[in-house]
Amino acid sequence: MTARQRRGRTLGALVGIALAVVVGVMIASVHHAAGELPLSDASVIREQAQAKHLDPALIAAVIDAETKFEPRTSSAGAEGLMQIEPATAEFLAKLSGGYSFTTSDLETPSVNVAYGSYYLRYLLEHYEGNEMLAVAAYNAGLANVDKWVAKAHAEGRRLTVSAIPFSQTRAYVQRVLEAQREYRATYAKQLGLN
17-71 per-position pLDDT tens digit: 333 333 333 333 333 334 588 999 999 999 999 999 999 999 999 999 999 999 9
Give the torsion sign (CA, 61, 62, 68, 71): negative
Query: pLDDT at position 7, please?
Result: 52
> Per-domain residue ranges for the chain?
1-36, 40-186
Half-sphere exposure of 185 (CA within 13 A, CB side): 8
| Mean residue pLDDT across the chain | 85
| Residue 79: count of CB within 10 angstroms of its CB | 23
- 182 included as an active-site residue: no
40-186 CATH, one of 3.30.1490.20, 3.90.930.12, 1.10.530.10, 3.90.1150.10: 1.10.530.10
Among the listed residues 36, 66, 128, 131, the single catalytic one is: 66
Are the C-beta atoms of residues 60 and 187 closer than 8 Å to each other?
yes
Dist CA 101 CA 115 (whole Å): 11
Alpha carbon 165 to chain centroid, angstroms? 22
**This prediction's pTM:** 0.80
The model's pLDDT over 63-110, given as tens digits with 9 standing for 90+, comes to 999 999 999 899 889 999 999 999 999 888 888 887 677 888 899 999
